[in-house]
Structure formats: C-alpha cells, structure tokens
Structure 1
Amino acid sequence: MARKIIILSGLILFQIQVLLSMNPQEEPVKSLVLQGMDFSFNNRFAEAEKVFDQLIQQYPQHPAGYFYKAATVQAEMLDAEDYRQDGQFYELAERTIQLADSLQKTARDDSWISFYKGSAYLYRSFMKMKMGNWLSAYKDASRGVSILESAVSQDSLLYDAYLGIGSFKYWKSTKTEFLLWLPFISDQRDQGIAMIYRAIEKGDFVQYVGRDQLVWILMDKKDYAEACKLARQNYEVYPESRFFKWTLASAAFHSREWEFSRQLYQELLQQVLQLPENNHLNEIECLVKLAEIAADNQQWQEAYQLADQALRFNLDESVRKRAKNKLHKALTLRNEAEKRIQP
C-alpha cells in the first residue's frame, strides 16, 4: 500500500513538473499561441478557438489554453457588440484562475502561471465594466494587478505583465484625477505609459494588443498625432482586422483626417452589414461618425441622411439602452442638419 502511495505521489509530482515546464516562450507552445492570436486579429474567431482548444487538449491542467480561449471569446463579443457568449467567457476565465490556484498550491510558483491568473482577473474586470458592474469590475482589476505586480517582483523580465499593470495605473489615475491633489493619491499616468511601451517593445505576446491599448490612452491624452502613428502600425500588419480598424478610424477622426476616417468607417459599415448577425449597434456607430464627418465639412444633406438612417432601426430594448448616447448624437445631428438645409 505504501509503495502504491509513493508511486502515485511520484506520478502527481511528475505531472506537475511537466505542467510547470510548459513555457509559453518556447516551442511548440509559442507558435500555437501566436497562430491563435493571428486568427483572432483577422476576425477568424472559430479558427482561433480551435487552436486554443488544441492547446487545452495538450495541457488540460494548465491555465494557458483556457486564458487565450477566453480572450478570443471576449474579442468575438466585442467585435459584434453582442455579449450572449458571456457565460462561456466567464467559465473559461474562472477555469484559468482555478487551474493557476491548483498549480500554485501544489508546487513552486511560476511567473507565467501568475500572469495567466492575474490577466484572467483583468479580462473579467473589463467584461464586468462593459456590463455596468463597476464595483465588481474594480475589485477584479485590483486583484489582477496585485497578482501581476507580485509576479513581476519575482521575475522582472515578465514584460507581458507590464501591459496590464501599466494600463491600470494610467486609467486609475485618470478616473481619480480630481483627487490627485491629496498627498496619498499619486499620479501614475506617465509610469503606466512607460510600462506599456516596455511591454510592446519586449513582451512575447502583447505587441499588437499593447499598441492598441496605448492608442486609446494617447487619444485620452489628446496626443492624436502619436495615436494615429501607432494605430497605423497595427493596421499595416493587419489591414483586415476590424479590431485595429476601429481604433485607427477613431484616431483619424480625432485627428480630423476626415477623408481617411470616412474611408475607414465606410469600410467598417460594409463589413458589419456582411456579418451573419447584426444588432445594429456597430452600424449606428459608423453612421453617426460618418454623419459627424459630413457635418464638419458642411455637407448637410448627407449628414441628415446618415443621422436619420441611424435613428430608424427597430432595436431590442437592451441594445437601445446601450445605444442611448449614440442615438442622442444622431438626433442632434439630424436636427442641426435639418435647420441648415431649410431655405
């Protein structure tokens, strides 16, 4: 009996060592992760999920595959502005956290396992924020960043973790800007941006996602020229990516590059219309932005038609609620255009 226990214990320890030796920076895991991310960036979400399913099959007790599949499901929901897959996303995020906990309880700590655990909390936080669960979102974000900071304190070369930490530092400081005069509230925006740049330059898997996040931060800072520059870099590598095209369209819009912005929103509108399911939210976004561009160029007839089109959809109540600000903008534009058109 004792011999069986020893053998069983040995097998368990061997399996744990195999799991911990699964380094995402090494082949074949790195190629699988990059391939799946490439599919996701190119809107080929089903193919991306198959790649990460393969990773899960090869390492069913490791959090990596579950995390990347969760990120893919979230990307697909964001792409369509349709969150009916949120149950699957939350299950995958929770599985990521549970497996990381199990490995950390039974063996030495591993910085990449901490990375997946902390990042799962951050991705879950973002989804909760999208759904308006602000308090729970903040708790998840704080916990995720704490885990990532602990991982970085153990392994300062874990540059992928710098993205989540840096983003949190920036947005937390921005949202509490009115409290920065207090002695115990520090402004960490510059530090956060520096960490994101470091993640982009030296990280293994966050170059494009980090650059995209940095573009939105630079737009928040009203540094539209640098935002456009970085957004173009992603767009040039992934010209078919709606994910990066939305970012570049917004950066070009805020930079008042009207013709380029108009071109991008028109392309996005056509792509949205070709999706198998369309709840009209992204369609409204494109129409309103195109109406704003037309209005700014004194093209009032076109502005009226675009804004009017945005107001004519028969929306589900949940979608109408989420589109409230866009619809208000469309109504304002239509009213203004109507005044300008009348003799």
Structure 2
Amino acid sequence: MNHSPEALSRQQRMLLALRAGTISLNLALCATCAADDLPTPAPGERAAVDSTFDRSITRILRLGDIGRYEEALVLCDSLHEALPDHPGPYLSTAGVYVNWMQSHRLSQFQEEVDLNAQRAIDTGTELLASSDDPWLSFYVGSAYGYRALARLRRHNWIGAFLDGRRSNEHLNTALKRDPRLYDAYFALGGYHYWRTARSDFLRTVAFWMRDRRDLGLRQMQLAVDHGRYIRNGALHGLALARYDAGDWEGALAANQLLMDTIEPPTNGSLYLRGRLFAQRQDWPAVERTFKQLLTKLTVRPRGYQSVGYQVECMYWIAAALKNQGRIDASRQLAA
C-alpha cells in the first residue's frame, strides 16, 4: 500500500469530496421534504369527500369514538364483502382495532391490525399501478402509518422510521393529486412532531434530521380546522402533542373541544384531562376525572380490561385525595 504524502493527500481529497457530497445530498433531501408552507383554506372549508366510503367511514368513526367497536367491525365486514379488493375496508378495520387497543391499553388485537394494514398496502399498491385516485394514496399512506406504530411498539426503530417515510410519501402524493385532502395533514403532523420529540436514537444515527415539531403542530391544527373525517382524532393528537410540548393551556383547549364533541367522552380524552388538571393542581377535578375513567374501564368484560390502566387511575385518585387532605381515604384506596 502506498503511504506517500501524495497518496495520502489524494485519499484525503476523496474523503472530503465524499463528505461534501453526502452533506449536499442531505441538504437536498431536507429541501425536498421541507415544504413548510401550508395551505390557507377559507374558514369553514372542509376536506374533499371520499365518494366511495363517505357515509360508511363517518359511521365507523362515530361508533369507534363512543366505544362501540363490535358494531364498527360489523360494518367493516360488510364493506369487505362489497369491495374485497379495495384498501378502504382493510384500513377501516385496522383503525377500529387500533382505537380499541389505545383506548383500553390492550395488545391482543395487534395481529388483526398487522394483517389488515398489510392487506390495505397490498391492495392499494396494486390499484395505484393503474389509478391516480388520491384516496388510494391516502389509504396506503395511512396503512404504512399503522405499521410504523406497530413497529415502534416492538422497538423496531429503523423499521418504524422507514414505514413513516413511506407513509409520508403516499400522503404527500395524495395531497399533490388533491390539495383539498386536508385529512392527510393529521398523520403528516404526527410524524413531524413525534419523530423529533421521541427519536433520540434515530437522531443519533440520522444526525441531519431537523426539529420539525412546530410544523407538526401546525399540520395537526390544519387537520382539526379543515379535516372531514379525522377531526376528532386530530384534536386528541394535537392535545397530546401540546401536552408533550408543555403547552398546558393549549392542550386543555383542544381537549375541551373534544370533550364537547363526543359523548360519552373517550378514555384517552379523560386520561389526558386528568393529567392536565394535575398540572394545575386542581385536585377535586383530578379525583372526579379519574373516577369517571375508572368506571368506564371496568364496564367491559375482564378479557378486555387493562389492570395496569386501572391501577394508574387509582394512583391518581389517591394522589388527589391526599392533596385534598383526605389522608385516610387515600390510604384506604392504596391499600
């Protein structure tokens, strides 16, 4: 091997050129995905209608919001029978199961989520080979999003990151084909916010990743203001992100809007509300909120209950009692 000064200088020049090229590529990639300018729809304008599934999607989402998951799944089954080669029914089924698991902190439906998300990806990809329907891109992008979440739960960080990128590509394609598909901004906003807020490992590997939490918050707000189907989910997602960012009042405002929209309130909105009241040290409200949530959690059969979730509710109730000076009641609950 030649170790002459001339050879070393050539190697150094090659290395510097490679580094410069890598930096230029990273900057180009950032510039490509840095479309931070968002549309400004007119007040009251809603996203485009999915003419194929409009009424069904609206009904399924409503049933999921109020905890009637079994009924929502029956409706999904009827869609499967009518359109077995379309990604919409598979994505709807996966969404119901994800909602059920997140609302009750369960894991037993993950296989159903994985199966239906993959079928949505497969059927949607096949149809996209001969169609430029923006809703197909939306469905496939959303399915990749569900798969990314599943991989996060399994600590498959790289797989989750790659699926998140695939989800973004399809959702951005949907927006290029129909700029009024504002529902897509919820998933994009969640990706941009939580990728930065919860990806220390990825930023160590992919050190060029920018902090795009502000963009994520603005995208979720756009979905709240102008989404047609995803508004309730976007409200909860926005409240969670603002809570994570330390914006307690912004989180409470979004949470209140959701509480005013869905009756009975969702488990997730009650839990976040209780935590927000704890931040305010409004202990009577903390007690009241977690008691309401605990009652909801114990209504379902034992096979669909999370003991850990119930224990956490009792912890917050005990803490609220203690901070109100009701020490004996707090000890009795903790015993």
TM-score class normalised by the smaller sequence: 0.7 to 0.9
5+ unaligned residues in a row in structure 1: which ranges? 1-22, 309-343
Which residue number corresponds to residue 72 of structure 1? Answer: 96
Structure 2 residues not aligned, in runs of 5+? 1-46
Partners of 2:76 and 2:93 within 8 A in 1: yes
SS in 1 for 2:103: helix
**In 1, Cα distance between equivalents of 2:79 and 2:281:** 44
CA-based RMSD of the aligned residues comes to 2.5
Give the structure 1 partner of residue 244 of structure 2.
Answer: 220
Give the conservation status (yes or no) of the 8 Å contact 1:33–1:52. Answer: no
Supply the distance in 1 between the matched residues of 2:51 and 2:161 (Cα, whole angstroms).
36
Q: How far has the Cα of 1:26 moved from its partner?
A: 4.8
Deviation at 1:165, TM superposition (A): 0.8
One-letter amino acid of the counterpart of residue 255, structure 1? R
Instruction: After TM superposition, give the deviation of residue 302 of structure 1 in Å.
Output: 3.2
- Whole-angstrom distance in 1 between the partners of 2:123 and 2:330: 53
CA contact (8 A) 2:124 2:140 kept: yes
Pick aligned residue for 2:144 from 118, 121, 124: 121
Q: In structure 1, what is the Cα distance between the partners aligned to 2:268 and 2:87?
A: 25
Matched, 1:101 2:101: no
Confirm or deny: 8 A CA contact 2:48 2:182 kept in the other structure. no
Q: Tell me if structure 2 keeps the 8 A contact 1:239–1:245.
A: no
1:265 is matched with 290
Letter in 2 for 1:149: N
Q: Which of 196, 199, 202 is residue 220 of structure 2 equivalent to?
A: 196
Amino acid at match of 2:280: S
One-letter amino acid of the counterpart of residue 230, structure 2: V
Percent identity over the alignment?
A: 23
Output the CA distance in 2 between the equivalents of 1:142 and 1:294: 46
CA distance in 2, matches of 1:108, 1:32: 22
Q: How far apart, CA to CA, are the structure 2 residues paired with 1:37 and 1:129?
A: 24
| Separation of aligned partners in 2, 1:118 and 1:158 | 13
Deviations 1:309-340 (A, max 9, x none): xxxxxxxxxxxxxxxxxxxxxxxxxxxxxxxx
1:28 is displaced (CA, Å) by: 6.7
Task: Tell me, in whole angstroms, the C-alpha distance in 1 between the residues paired with 2:199 and 2:61.
Answer: 33
Distance, in Å, in 2 between the alignment partners of 1:169 and 1:40 is 26
TM-score, length of structure 1 as denominator length: 0.76
Shift of 1:217: 0.6
Matched, 1:153 2:176: yes
State which drifts further: 184-193 or 200-209: 184-193
Correspondence for 2:35: none
1-structure distance, mates of 2:51, 2:179 = 22
Pairwise mapping of residues 1-343 of structure 1 onto structure 2 (< 5 A)?
Answer: 25-26=49-50, 29-105=53-129, 107-175=130-198, 184-240=208-264, 241-277=266-302, 278-308=305-335
Alpha-carbon separation, structure 2, partners of 1:40 and 1:129: 23
The verdict on how the C-alpha distance between 1:268 and 1:183 changes in structure 2, with shifts beyond 3 A counting, is closer
Letter in 1 for 2:277: A
* Residue pair 2:48, 2:180 contacting (<8 A) in 1 also: no
Query: In structure 2, do the counterparts of structure 1 residues 70 and 185 end up closer, same or farther at CA, with 3 Å as the change threshold?
Result: closer
In 2, Cα distance between equivalents of 1:306 and 1:126: 35
SS at match of 2:263: coil
User: CA separation of 1:149/1:256 partners in 2, compared to 1, >3 Å: closer, same or farther?
Assistant: farther
Deviations 1:228-261 (A, max 9, x none): 1211111122131324323323333333332222
Q: Do the aligned partners of 1:67 and 1:92 also contact (CA within 8 Å) in 2?
A: yes
TM-score (norm 2): 0.78
By relative contact order (CA 8 Å, sep 6+), the higher-ranking structure is: 2
**Residues 128 and 169 of structure 1, relative CA distance in 2, 3 Å threshold:** same
Distance 1:183 1:140 in 2: 19
C-alpha distance 176-208 of structure 1, shift in aligned 2 (>3 A): same
Distance across 1 between alignment mates of 2:162 and 2:328 = 48
